[in-house]
Structure 1
Amino acid sequence: MLAGFDIIFLTLSTAEFIIGMLGNVLIGLVNCSEWVKNRKISLADLILTCLAISRITQLLVSLFESFMMGLNPPFYSIYKLAKPVTLLWRITNHLTIWFTTCLSIFYLLKIAQFSHSLFLWLRRRMNRVILAILVFSLLFLLFDFLLLEAWNDFFLNIHAMDESNLTLFMNESKTFYIKSLILLSFSYIVPIALSMTSLLLLFLSLIKHIRNLQLNSMGSRDFSTQAHKRAIKMVVSFLFLFTVHFFSIQLSNWLLFLFWNKKNTKFIMLTVYVFPSGHSLILILGNSRLRQTALKVLWHLKSSLKKENQFHLYR
């Protein structure tokens, strides 16, 4: 029978999963329908579609892990199940982060205004630049695969041990655990650095653009200024939510290592849903086409509920 903590944990996990799925499915359906309708798709919509697909998969894997932690079945410690689940979560998390990073770089190359020859060269080859970044990210994914082999063996040994030997094993494995945690975190450095650079350059471009408008005695609310501000908001939201995502992963890893038998430590993992769920909603609000579609869906649902209530009222 499930304990009270487990019921609350599974309920919150399911709620966050539903919110994230609604946002990402909307992004995927809108962009795919436009792709089929126009028989072409822009680079930004392609990145958003790939990002939505990777996040849908990530949310499914996260929900599966949540139920495995909440229900705590004996078969979860079996290597054939634990290994592919961990590997699939790492793949989806990796793709999600790098697709979002590519979106930040796209905003920079599309909106920023610099006369430097290198920037102009990168802008002319935007599609190739994004593709090269994704190919480059596969090197980090390969590195993760190799490290996860040892990582999975470590946690499987924890599951297999009895409580009398667990403390001794933990003490002897602290060095390995710390090194592995640092190495697994290393793959986050490059996408964060690229996104931070994009944010800084977008901000500098905005300042330069506003100064040029002021020198020419023009208003500061032109299309380019608004595009700069929207792009900055998108990148800032990504960096903020990713920071929460990153520290929640690190904290949950440490808590599960230090307090393996404490069931309430699993609640820190609820914050893992914040990044794939919350960022999709911000992307919808920042995209006029997605925002209008979401409002139409909400209006349709509201009208349907209103008609249903009237039907039951006069029945």
Structure 2
Amino acid sequence: MLIHRIFQVVTVIDCVVGMMASGFIVSVGSTDWMRRRKLPACDRILICLCSSRLLLQGTILHATLFPELTQWNVVRGHSVLLVLASTACLWFAACLSVFYCLKIATFTQPCFLLMKLRISAMVPQLLLGSALISLVSSLPFLWVDYSSHLCNSTRSHLKNISFESPTGNNISYFKGFVMYVTWAVVPLLFFIASSTLLIASLWKHIKQMRQNATGFKDSKTEAHITAIKSLISFLMLYICSFIAEILLGIPSCQAMSRWKHNICSLLIAVCPSVHSILLVLLNVRLKLAVKSILLYMKCHRKQDSAEALWQERKSMSSS
């Protein structure tokens, strides 16, 4: 019981930290968008990605804080929101990876060069398509029967015990689980393929630089390395989160053991939080925004201290 509480506390803290990081990225991007009336395509993808993460971690946070809620409407709402947010995160992440690949990779195939020229103009359509696919993939979960998946403390099914569907569902949990895996695998393949191509392009570029070494650092290579660090970390986090979601969603009481549930839930919450923090640390504009906020807070604190000292001296002189 104590370990379960510890997992709950860690998950809550991680969700809060992740939501703060994602909210910061969304606020900075939205502020720039309103101020300039224009936003780079990459920043648009980041705003959509972090917005979907806010929804995902907010839903996880609510489910963690109120695990005793097993009414039909609550379970259905949680499931639909989780599938919607999770699928949107996967698709927006795939869009980000494909965008980086097309913009940074140096392949010379005609089809690749054509997509490289058009990718920025295609970003709004890609984001809209990703959102629509995520919405459509979550709708069937309004009619999924979760009673065959939920288990009580004795590992027996909750069907006809404390959870009953009032709508006469005709979609079994297993079918819903298979549908989710099918929808989730597609963006995973896109992400792995684009990340692999980008890594191959970077490796080729580094080999060329070593052969033509001039003793000076190549700023383009450094930009490639920074992007690759972000993508490699994202790839690892992406795969870990995907595996955790699959293990957590396997339709059996065995898969819903307390240890597996706690570990998988924690991983699903940790992975997007870590990547949001990495995005802030690796993005120059976001890093400057953090430094500006810290500098403002430091100056404001000094100003408050100076005002307090002045008020103290004034009161002493008047007395």
Paired residue type of 2:102: L
Is 2:110 aligned against 1:117? yes
Any conservation in 1 of the 2:174–2:251 contact (CA below 8 Å)? no
Map Cα deviations across residues 132-187 of structure 1 (whole Å, 9 max, x no partner): 54455444653453266335354479434349xxxxxxxxxxxx666654442222
C-alpha separation between the residues in 2 aligned to 1:153 and 1:192? 29
Cross-structure match for 1:275: 271
Cross-structure match for 1:159: 158
Any conservation in 2 of the 1:47–1:99 contact (CA below 8 Å)? yes
Is 2:214 aligned against 1:221? no
C-alpha separation between the residues in 1 aligned to 2:260 and 2:203? 45
Map Cα deviations across residues 79-123 of structure 1 (whole Å, 9 max, x no partner): 222212210111111111111111111111111112211011101
Larger Cα-atom Rg: 2
1:1-315 matches, cutoff 5 A: 4-5=2-3, 7-69=5-67, 72=68, 76-134=69-127, 137=130, 138-139=132-133, 142-146=136-140, 149-152=143-146, 154-155=148-149, 158-162=157-161, 180-219=176-215, 221-254=217-250, 257-258=253-254, 263=258, 265-268=260-263, 269-301=265-297
Structure with greater proportional helix content: 1
Deviation at 1:306, TM superposition (A): 8.1
Give me the TM-score of the superposition, normalised by structure 2: 0.79
Name the % identity.
Answer: 28
C-alpha separation between the residues in 2 aligned to 1:301 and 1:266? 40
* CA RMSD across the alignment: 3.3
How many aligned residue pairs are there? 294
Give me the TM-score of the superposition, normalised by structure 1: 0.80
Map Cα deviations across residues 185-214 of structure 1 (whole Å, 9 max, x no partner): 222222222122212221222233234434
- Where does the alignment leave 5 or more consecutive residues of structure 1 unmatched? 164-175
Residue 128 to residue 146, structure 1, CA distance change in 2 (3 Å)? farther
Residue 259 to residue 222, structure 1, CA distance change in 2 (3 Å)? closer
C-alpha separation between the residues in 2 aligned to 1:204 and 1:10? 40
Residue 116 to residue 5, structure 1, CA distance change in 2 (3 Å)? same
Residue 10 to residue 143, structure 1, CA distance change in 2 (3 Å)? closer
- Where does the alignment leave 5 or more consecutive residues of structure 2 unmatched? 152-156, 163-171, 313-319
